[in-house]
A and B are shown apart, each in its own frame.
Chain A
């Protein structure tokens, strides 16, 4: 017979204490596996030099210091291309790429989700299938194509492909399908609003969580992009690449490198913390039927 047990005023079904214990145990082990390396990055970033090279090494920092961050900024100022240029490159590419993906992607998502035109199923199926394509599969041919279009060694080589990225469009379309009701759109159309206006004034405000999710996915991709095969000029390279160059300096730079890692990871993590509930809401309609 099934047993019913109450936990915090909620009826919980079929839960044995042994199972609870086992799950907590498993969760703790897995959590430690995920969390301890992240914690270690922080520890390294705040360790003074003598602690970084202490034997035996200790996991925890004893006398935390900001010296590593200071070293990092000194190193940044000595680089050949001014560091602000790398930062500008990454921010510019991320913002332009994300904006284009948001606009073109949601425009297409709206048409695919809410207008019954011939071929929509077929087009969406193709886009959905392409979720499987890994970037490496297309990299070589893309390189040839881009040199043909004269995009090699320009910002466009990074920005324009981002406009056509699939995950954002996929999530946006699924979200629109479940969260924008046809009745509202129908009444707007009856009032004489054009499709474009219906999209912008009626549909888009209803799917804010999906916007945010699309923005975050696209932004994270572009932000975390390191060196690219499409970019040769030092002045066009990304912040991530420049940080990589600093940290490749070996033993002497272990502290600065840890500090750089902390700075680099704080951006996507902060963005995620702010937007977590919206992303989860969007993911609610991410499923693939059929």
Chain B
């Protein structure tokens, strides 16, 4: 019986065009569509549609009150030629992303690699120590206490005590210190999902690969890392990269909480701040959509760049 249907199917596959075949398969698997439907409706409504709508709205002057007019590239021209603060935002976002992204990625990878050979109990404890800041919500406010501008701030007091400075440094009001501090704090909270993924990836590597590598003349752990470990866990590296990129473009909250909004002279003003400002405070939806599209394009670009770089691992 089953063989009969199988042959029948094979024959009929040939007789049909691709479209007909697809339609038949779709009807046969209607349950699958029903199963993904609830998720997909919510997903499309709140994730895909907003991106598409943003792209369309970015070509208009929509402001929530009047009917939108089509203005073509005006918003983008204004962004790049007339908006000085946006240029500051782009610069800061790149500094942020180019330091925090790779640094957190490397730190996740190195720490995961360091603890890979420890015993399970110690490994669990070290994992917790490194992972805890990223899941503890607003606990990063403690950096505000540590670096507080008066002499009750622990860092200022220590520096005063050692005689390295003569008066307190206003860490969060001095443009020289704001960016580096925000970068450090962001880095502190950044060992998240990618870190766990790397730990799991390293744990999953077959030990016999290392033994084979040693026979093949791998001399030290660095060569082992480059020629055996990293190529084997490439899928995890890719996943971790996406998580790290997404995170490294969205650290506006840390800056707001530590330095106020806006930060002194816009010295830590990022694209997400600019987006919030125009979208939620000034209701220039068209203009803020253009900002969102630029941010989106940067993220997608960063992602394909990283993909290319990762394909070179182990060569």
Partner of A40, one of B26, B33, B145, B238: B145
Q: Is A84 an interface residue (CB 8 A)?
A: no
Interface string of A100-121 (1 = CB under 8 A from B): 0000110110111001111110
B interface: dominant SS:
helix
Please, which residues of chain A bring their CB within 8 A of the CB of B211?
Answer: 11, 13
Q: Is B151 an interface residue (CB 8 A)?
A: yes
Q: How far is the CB of B173 from chain A (nearest CB, A)?
A: 16
Q: Is B60 an interface residue (CB 8 A)?
A: no
Q: Is B272 an interface residue (CB 8 A)?
A: yes
Query: Chain B residue with minimal CB distance to A170?
Result: B239
Residues of A242-264 contacting chain B, CB below 8 A: 244, 247, 254, 258, 261, 264
Partner of B249, one of A13, A105, A118, A134: A134
Q: Are B42 and A107 in contact (CB under 8 A)?
A: no
Q: Are B136 and A133 in contact (CB under 8 A)?
A: no
Q: How far is the CB of B211 from chain A (nearest CB, A)?
A: 7
Query: Chain A residue with minimal CB distance to B151?
Result: A55
Q: Is B261 an interface residue (CB 8 A)?
A: no
Q: Are A23 and B114 in contact (CB under 8 A)?
A: yes
Q: Are B197 and A38 in contact (CB under 8 A)?
A: no
Q: Is B163 an interface residue (CB 8 A)?
A: no
Contact flag A105-B142 (CB < 8 Å), given A14-B224, A145-B46, A196-B31:
no
Partner of B200, one of A138, A195, A217, A284: A284
Q: Are B39 and A137 in contact (CB under 8 A)?
A: no
Q: How far is the CB of A113 from chain B (nearest CB, A)?
A: 11
Q: How far is the CA of A130 from the CA of B300 in the complex (A)?
A: 10
Interface string of B82-111 (1 = CB under 8 A from A): 000000000000000000000000010011
Q: Is A163 an interface residue (CB 8 A)?
A: yes
Partner of A261, one of B35, B45, B141, B151: B141
Residues of B41-86 contacting chain A, CB below 8 A: 41-43, 45-51, 53-54, 57, 64
Q: How far is the CA of A16 from the CA of B220 in the complex (A)?
A: 8
Q: Are A30 and B292 in contact (CB under 8 A)?
A: no
Q: How far is the CA of A264 from the CA of B133 in the complex (A)?
A: 12
Q: Are B139 and A264 in contact (CB under 8 A)?
A: yes
Query: Chain B residue with minimal CB distance to A112?
Result: B36
10 more contacts with CB within 8 A, not counting A108-B36, A289-B235, are A4-B214, A14-B221, A55-B151, A108-B38, A127-B43, A138-B46, A138-B292, A264-B139, A282-B200, A286-B236
Q: Which 4 A-B pairs have the closest CB atoms?
A: A287-B235, A164-B42, A283-B200, A140-B279
A-B contact pairs, 28 of them (CB 8 A): A13-B214, A14-B218, A23-B114, A56-B158, A108-B38, A117-B26, A118-B29, A132-B299, A136-B252, A137-B295, A140-B280, A140-B292, A141-B50, A142-B46, A145-B50, A164-B43, A224-B137, A229-B280, A264-B136, A265-B132, A272-B135, A276-B128, A283-B236, A284-B204, A287-B233, A287-B235, A288-B242, A289-B235
